[in-house]
């Protein structure tokens, strides 16, 4: 046990020497009530901003519109499934159907 404490102290001294005294201080020692209130206010503002984003229901799961970086979501002409994956998007642009329908109905039948 004493060996472990000596090793820890040795490591702390090496870190302090390399990065300065502030690197070995407890981060909680820099925290106070003003910083706590400021943090909580920022957290409230962030939550309000996230709630403002419109949500889309996909297969019973609510997803924020912020997650989608494209304007519209394509729907497969064969199975009416939304093309959400990158592979589905690729197949939709080229064949106007999702990847699954391409392999079921078109692959090898051209």
The domains of the chain are located at 70-110
Residue-level pLDDT at 72: 65
Residue-level pLDDT at 71: 56
CB 30 within 8 Å of CB 20? no
Instruction: State the average pLDDT over residues 72-98.
Output: 77
């Amino acid at each position: 046990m004493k060996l472990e404490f000596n090793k820890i102290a040795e490591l702390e001294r090496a870190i302090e020497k390399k990065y300065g005294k502030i690197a070995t201080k407890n981060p909680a020692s820099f925290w106070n009530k003003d910083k706590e209130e400021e943090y909580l206010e920022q957290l409230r503002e962030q939550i309000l901003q996230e709630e403002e984003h419109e949500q889309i229901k996909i297969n019973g799961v609510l997803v924020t519109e912020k997650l989608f970086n494209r304007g519209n979501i394509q729907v497969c002409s064969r199975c009416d499934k939304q093309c959400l994956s990158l592979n589905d998007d690729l197949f939709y642009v080229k064949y106007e159907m999702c990847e699954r329908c391409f392999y079921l109905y078109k692959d090898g039948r051209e």
